[in-house]
């Protein structure tokens, strides 16, 4: 374990990837397990640390696994909060009664109120107040057989970014393979930790039914009266079950598609399906060559939306 002694996290990660059969035996040594945790805990929180811990967790006992998952959650939340900036929010003007601090008068509405009155009160004076437009977004994440294990932590970081960005709005997260699974519903209020915990427990693999995932995503969007509504689907576009997804995509207020190489090799996906979904949904189609760039691409999209 030369990498451990030199605190070489990339070397440690490569070791776990290349020698999966011996990991359980190695980590049965409690002192070695604690040494690894100590190295990671005393390193600057980064994605590689979370990936190392994720690779470890299936070979641990319940007590160790719980400790590892708590550290993964902390790393993901810290990373998401550091790389996510709120940016400019969409706003609108709404009518409200007069109160100190408001500067813009709705002249037309105010004149309507006072034109027939001998006297009037502050409640008859209508002001314009700038408020943030509420947003509702649904993120659909392909976790079918195409998803390679080493990419899961990157996907979870992307979810953490969405959760940070829209924690004061409405958002839903759906994982899909042969069937869609709502990881967080639109109206559900919970912490980032709970959402990340659910993904750490999620079983990946299976057929891919994009159409049904889009159906459930649309139902989630329809649960709110938010001014701005849109969906984002992250997939390689390979459909192995269900009908054509474009038929549902066109029903979205807007649907963006982030095409990612989930399988082995960047050419493993179906770019045509991804492009047609985006076109039908009136959204944009992004092709991410390297899955590691998914969090960055998602953040750029959220800033522009």
Read off the pLDDT of residues 34-77 as tens digits, 9 standing for 90 and up: 777 777 777 776 788 888 788 777 667 788 888 888 888 888 98
Domain boundaries in the chain?
2-83, 91-132, 135-304
pLDDT in tens, the chain (305 residues): 444 444 556 666 666 656 554 555 555 667 777 777 777 777 776 788 888 788 777 667 788 888 888 888 888 988 888 887 654 455 666 677 777 777 787 777 877 777 776 777 777 788 776 666 788 999 999 998 756 666 888 999 999 999 988 888 899 999 999 999 999 999 888 778 889 888 888 888 888 899 999 999 999 999 998 888 999 999 999 888 888 999 999 999 999 999 998 765 444 678 999 999 999 999 999 999 888 899 999 998 988 87
Question: Which of these CATH numbers, 3.30.70.1450, 3.30.1540.20, 3.40.50.410, 3.40.30.10, describes 135-304?
Answer: 3.40.50.410
Between CA 30 and CA 205 the distance in angstroms is: 31
CA nearest to 216, candidates 190, 177, 258, 164: 177
Q: How many CB atoms lie within 10 A of CB 70?
A: 13
Which H or E element spans position 140? strand 135-142
Who contacts 111 (Cβ-Cβ below 8 Å, separation ≥6)? none
Quickly list DSSP for 162-176. Answer: HHHHTTTSEEEEEEE
Say if CB 256 and CB 232 are below 8 A apart. yes
């Amino acid at each position: 374990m030369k990498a451990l002694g030199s605190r070489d996290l990339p070397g440690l990660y490569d070791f776990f990837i290349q020698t999966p059969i011996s990991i359980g035996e190695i980590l049965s040594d409690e002192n070695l397990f604690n040494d690894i945790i100590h190295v990671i805990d005393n390193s600057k929180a980064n994605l590689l640390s979370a990936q190392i811990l994720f690779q470890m967790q299936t070979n641990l006992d319940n007590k160790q696994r719980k400790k590892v998952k708590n550290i993964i959650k902390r790393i993901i939340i810290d990373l998401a909060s550091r790389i996510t900036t709120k940016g400019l929010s969409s706003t609108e003007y709404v009518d409200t009664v007069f109160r100190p601090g408001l500067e813009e008068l709705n002249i037309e509405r105010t004149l309507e109120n006072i034109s027939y009155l001998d006297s009037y009160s502050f409640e008859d004076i209508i002001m314009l107040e700038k408020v943030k437009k509420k947003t509702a977004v649904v993120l659909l994440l392909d976790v079918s057989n195409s998803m390679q294990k080493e990419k899961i932590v990157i996907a979870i970081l992307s979810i953490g970014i969405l959760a940070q960005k829209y924690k004061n709005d409405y958002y839903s997260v759906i994982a899909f393979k042969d069937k869609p699974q709502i990881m967080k519903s639109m109206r559900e209020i919970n912490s980032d930790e709970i959402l990340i915990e659910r993904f750490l427990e999620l079983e990946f693999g299976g057929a891919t039914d994009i159409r049904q995932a889009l159906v459930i995503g649309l139902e989630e969007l329809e649960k709110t009266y938010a001014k701005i509504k849109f969906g984002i689907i992250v997939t390689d576009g390979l459909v192995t079950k269900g009908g054509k997804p474009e038929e549902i995509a066109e029903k979205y207020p807007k649907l963006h598609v982030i095409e990612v190489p989930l399988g082995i090799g960047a050419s493993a996906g179906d770019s045509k399906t991804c492009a047609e979904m985006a076109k039908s949904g009136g959204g944009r189609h992004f092709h991410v060559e390297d899955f590691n760039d998914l969090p960055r691409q998602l953040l750029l999209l959220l800033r522009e939306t």
